Amino acid sequence: MLHDVKPTIIQLDMKKIAKMNIWLTAILSILFIIANNLIRHSFSFSFSLWTIPLFLLFYFALIVLHEIFHLVGFMLFGKVKFNQLEYGVNLKLGVAYATTTQPLTNKAMKKSLLIPFWTTGVLPTILGFVFQSNMLVLLGAFLIAGAIGDFYMYRELRKFPDTSLIKDDPELPRLYVYQERE
pLDDT tens-digit series, residues 7-59: 999 998 989 999 999 999 999 999 999 999 998 877 766 667 888 999 999 99
Instruction: Tell me what percent of the residues of the chain surpass a pLDDT of 90.
Output: 76
Least confident of 18-32, 40-54, 67-81, 89-103: 40-54
Report the pLDDT value the prediction gives residue 3, as an integer from 0 to 100: 59
Report the pLDDT value the prediction gives residue 182, as an integer from 0 to 100: 54
pLDDT tens-digit series, residues 150-180: 999 999 999 999 999 999 988 888 999 998 7
Report the pLDDT value the prediction gives residue 41, as an integer from 0 to 100: 77
Residue 101 pLDDT more than 80?
Answer: yes
Q: What is the mean pLDDT of residues 108-129?
A: 97
Report the pLDDT value the prediction gives residue 1, as an integer from 0 to 100: 54
b/e per residue 113-125 (b: at least 16 CB within 10 A): bbbbbebbbeebb
Residue 140 pLDDT more than 60?
Answer: yes
Instruction: Tell me what percent of the residues of the chain surpass a pLDDT of 70.
Output: 94
Residue 181: pLDDT band with limits 50, 70, 90? low
* HEC profile of the chain: CHHHCCCEEEECCHHHHHHHHHHHHHHHHHHHHHHHHHHCCCCCCCCCCCHHHHHHHHHHHHHHHHHHHHHHHHHHHHCCCHHHEEEEEECCCCEEEEEECCCEEHHHHHHHHHHHHHHHHHHHHHHHHHCCCHHHHHHHHHHHHHCHHHHHHHHHHCCCCCCCEEEECCCCCEEEEECCCC
Residue 63: pLDDT band with limits 50, 70, 90? very high
